[in-house]
Structure 1
């Protein structure tokens, strides 16, 4: 059936710290190279919390939500012939043609649901090159996760962190991304350690194959011990001044404990300032790398690992009407794994 002219959508509006529901938001018709899709699920992310908290200083209103699984239902002109009506797709956030609207602003802030139209709505119109086919046996909610959390965590571990067999890897923050990173690192052949403030998150890390779980206090003691705890790679999803201090200590080492080619991967965004001296990195050889999202190959890899069961994503689905409740739970750090919202699956083609 054709899409209606209007839909239910949840918008970011400047000055509001909750999403604003609009019941008659216009459905955008697809233009050249674009595809109109029926949204099935959309993941709720800490990036949404940061935007609602005013991090981007955005003065436009738009539909939020950037972890989208959808079905293609209508084509604009000149759409890639590989895109099929009725096929499910995970929607990538951006591509090489995405540009920032303002100087010194990341292009990511014009991506799907991060400045451009997002998935907290019945329908979404996207460029055809953002659509990645979803394997048949991957549920909608996991396809949503692959679109961002799965992609970002995979890229952080495999491409940015260059984790390899035999490495000792510390994952800080075992939430929606960190619990996937634990599994990716193990698949790379690494020995994995985890750190999180929450006991349930530490337990999850151990369940997924980590050999030891630290609280921040325990990690501080371990890196300062006479026989210090050291690793080759730190992947930090918390990205706080405290986590950075402790993680850097695990990479520094001394004497026989000095790791080879140590790498610190900071994932996502943080409002905190990190303090360190040139000596912290110059004389230790520590590389500090930033990771924001990943290439299409990372999305495809995440979907394939979800499909073959090598990586088990933890996801809970709730109705779209609960999106503000979930945002509040994320603000309070009450969510383990990932939460997604489900949009009504009425006939769409």
Structure 2
């Protein structure tokens, strides 16, 4: 089969021929029909230690995977050839068991070959059923961009109906979070410097949009989730939350930041980090998507265009979430 593989740091992906996978006990093979591209894919090519060390090189990267089951290994129950499934990239790491994999080992594209290929060897435990009728491209997007944004907002942020919520950054993650917040009854406000996407915020149901989080100072937000992460965004969020309010940090635009702890202390604020999520998060997203309530903006490319897609992500040329479609 064909696979786009990373052969070394700061080197372009190479299209290679690799052996078709064969499922062992507890495993299934997916014919990949959609594979999402992520900024962490760019990082894995240039600075692989940022998220998780690469288990090997060459390695097939790509961790947003959805496809159709084409082979089932011994002992697998609940899955049959022809079933459509998304892959939770953090499921095995979340409940590893005594000898289970760590986060890096469990994640496709880092600990083992990922989804920029025609087939993917999956742990059956990591699969989430894609509802009938749901576009498989959305099935891929929900597995990481959706899961990560949802988990930060709903689980780490403990979202409740009626909350005043701020979403910083309306990219691939922020747009999903903004819509989820609205669907769950929150009053959602968006901070996004690119004014050409303000109409998207309005269409998602956001109450207001500003260019910079500094405009929210003193407005008493219950919860702000920062999907940008440039230091100034984190600092601005801490000035905008109410006493005992919460800021959840997801974005890693800068990883070494300095913030004035005065606001953190005086506001008795909760500053939390969030990464990944669970199969339950993905299943909830699938339900919202299948009902037509959540339709993230995506840009589709072909399998052959994956390297160009990586370049476009690096150069900030992508609107919404980028997905390579291999089938229907």
Q: TM-score, normalised by structure 1?
A: 0.86
Per-residue CA deviation, residues 262-302 of structure 1 (Å, 9 max, x unaligned), is 11111154542122354332331111111111111101001
1:128 aligns with 2:113: no
Q: CA deviation at 1:109?
A: 5.8
Aligned equivalent of 2:71: 74
Q: 1:267 to 1:327 in 2, by over 3 A?
A: same
State which of 24, 33, 38 in structure 2 corresponds to 1:40: 33
Q: Which runs of 5+ in 2 are unaligned?
A: none
Q: 1:154 to 1:198 in 2, by over 3 A?
A: same
State which of 81, 87, 91 in structure 2 corresponds to 1:91: 87
Q: CA deviation at 1:110?
A: 4.0
Would you say the 8 A contact 1:171–1:195 is kept in 2? Answer: yes
Would you say the 8 A contact 1:13–1:60 is kept in 2? Answer: no
State which of 230, 234, 246 in structure 2 corresponds to 1:244: 234
1:20 aligns with 2:14: yes
Aligned equivalent of 1:64: 61
State which of 145, 149, 161 in structure 2 corresponds to 1:149: 145
> Pairwise mapping of residues 1-349 of structure 1 onto structure 2 (< 5 A)?
7-22=1-16, 24-56=17-49, 58=54, 60-61=56-57, 62-79=59-76, 81-94=77-90, 95=92, 96-97=95-96, 98-100=100-102, 107-108=103-104, 110-216=106-212, 219-223=213-217, 228-251=218-241, 259-343=242-326
Would you say the 8 A contact 2:244–2:269 is kept in 1? Answer: yes
SS of residue paired to 1:36: strand
Aligned equivalent of 1:254: none
Q: TM-score, normalised by structure 2?
A: 0.91
Q: CA deviation at 1:230?
A: 3.2
Q: CA deviation at 1:17?
A: 4.2
Would you say the 8 A contact 2:302–2:326 is kept in 1? Answer: yes
Q: CA deviation at 1:115?
A: 2.8
Which structure has the greater CA radius of gyration?
A: 1
SS of residue paired to 1:38: strand
Q: CA deviation at 1:200?
A: 2.1
Q: 1:221 to 1:145 in 2, by over 3 A?
A: closer
| Count of matched residue pairs | 318
Would you say the 8 A contact 2:26–2:73 is kept in 1? Answer: yes
Q: 1:141 to 1:205 in 2, by over 3 A?
A: same
Per-residue CA deviation, residues 129-162 of structure 1 (Å, 9 max, x unaligned), is 1111110011110000111111111111111111
Q: CA deviation at 1:85?
A: 1.0
Would you say the 8 A contact 1:268–1:291 is kept in 2? Answer: no
Would you say the 8 A contact 2:72–2:80 is kept in 1? Answer: no
| Further displaced range: 292-301 or 280-289 | 280-289
SS of residue paired to 1:90: strand
Instruction: State the distance in 2 between where 1:296 and 1:220 align.
Output: 35
SS of residue paired to 1:203: helix
Q: CA deviation at 1:99?
A: 2.8
Would you say the 8 A contact 2:243–2:269 is kept in 1? Answer: no
SS of residue paired to 1:26: coil
Q: Which runs of 5+ in 1 are unaligned?
A: 1-6, 101-106, 252-258
Instruction: State the distance in 2 between where 1:109 and 1:210 align.
Output: 38
Q: 1:269 to 1:117 in 2, by over 3 A?
A: farther
| Further displaced range: 168-177 or 193-202 | 193-202
